[in-house]
Structure 1
Amino acid sequence: MLKIGLTGGIASGKSAAAEVFAGLGVPVIDADVIARERVAPGSEALAEIVCAFGPEMLTPAGELDRPRLRRRVFADAEARARLEAILHPRIREALLARLETLDAPYVVLVIPLLVEAGWQDLVDRVLVIDAPEALQRERLMRRDGLSAAEAEAMLAAQADRATRCAAADDRVVNDGSLDDLRADIEKLHGHYLALAGAGRTGPSAR
């Protein structure tokens, strides 16, 4: 089974691209979804996060206060490393386990920090959903209600655009409409089906 690692900077359009793949019948495994499952109330990971960052990271209902934790770790590289040490091994283990349950020509693994975590070994090809940083910043501020400084800190915490694109086997520039993105993904879908049928990864489509 051909494994496609879908990644990209924050607010680049990874989720929208993944939805197009899913709509085409492609199995999609999302690392962010797994992360949310792993920090459910009563989980071992949530207990470790509270131990590392304090009870203020919980909502009154006992759930992880994701916006508060996000602000904390994006402002502090050491805190971010502590959080990743708690979550990344669990996420990787779950990704591998779910791959074992699938039978399809190819699968898409949505891994936002694929490049930063060095998880290229999990996939056969890396698909980067790319966008100009100014557009990412604008989307992030609009989507999450962040200040320019907060958005900039989140962008700075990830691999820069050039580093991410250098790791790509395939790249989609998502700076247009949803229909433009859908057309690009549909083109790649045909390419990936051909590669899966040939049993090889072949040259990049773009």
Structure 2
Amino acid sequence: MSNWILGLTGGIGAGKTAATTYFESLGIEVVDADIVAREVVQPNTPGLNAIKAHFGSAVLNHDGQLNRAKLREVIFSDESQKDWLNKLLHPLIREQIITQLAEAKSSYSILCAPLLFENGLQSYCQKTLLIDVPESVQIIRTASRDNVSQEQVKNIIAAQMSREEKSQLADYIVNNDKELADVQSELLSLHKIFLQAAKNY
């Protein structure tokens, strides 16, 4: 991959989507690891075929789509099944991410991944940007957005790398706990830095 890539990450509810949407409005292509993760298990993909062969058709919906809730139930209580699934999906997702980044045509491109650092995806990126908010904001935003309990959100946050660790690893940090216009003007300044870096790359 010869193009300049920004890795963008942030905890659940931090506002990664608002940030990537803004970059897209500036003409920057975004490869989203969450979307890729869904693409590699679409019907008739090697990913879904392998899942069906391993877990049986109980993990599929009537229309042949993956039943994520059912699959989560199966792997949640069994660490070895979870490992099997990760070993299957991670290489497929990685391969697809690399392909999509290589095909990006914008001045630079963005790899958006909630587990950017945890999965070592920052190794594909020239710089990294952390979209950050206080944990209390994460909890309130996510609970109302996903219609889940605050307890559940706390568990998800606890399972992710801490904000402190991410802050130490990131090259740039944008605090998203303020007015959208302020966040966007900060992102615009960074966009200019990234354009220059990409030009010199």
TM-score by length of 1: 0.85
Give the C-alpha shift of residue 186 in structure 1: 1.1
Q: Is the 8 A contact 1:74 1:153 kept in 2?
A: no
The one-letter amino acid of 2:140's match is E
CA distance in 1 between counterparts of 2:123 and 2:45 reads 28
Corresponding residue for 2:193? 191
Aligned-pair identity in percent equals: 38
Structure 2 gap ranges (5+): none
Corresponding residue for 1:32? 34
Corresponding residue for 2:178? 176
The one-letter amino acid of 2:162's match is D
Structure 1 segment 1-150 matched on structure 2, within 5 A: 1-51=3-53, 55-69=57-71, 80-150=82-152
CA, structure 1 residues 73+53, in 2 after alignment: closer, same or farther (shift >3 Å)?
same
CA-based RMSD: 2.2
Give the C-alpha shift of residue 53 in structure 1: 5.1
The one-letter amino acid of 2:165's match is T
CA distance in 2 between counterparts of 1:29 and 1:2 reads 13
Alignment length, in residue pairs?
A: 199
SS at match of 1:127: strand
TM-score by length of 2: 0.87
Structure 1 gap ranges (5+): 200-206
CA distance in 1 between counterparts of 2:24 and 2:171 reads 20
- The superposition leaves residues 36-71 of structure 1 with CA deviations (integer Å, 9 ceiling, x where unpaired) of 111112222123334555544333322123345457
- The superposition leaves residues 4-42 of structure 1 with CA deviations (integer Å, 9 ceiling, x where unpaired) of 001111111111111110000011111111111111122
CA distance in 2 between counterparts of 1:141 and 1:76 reads 26
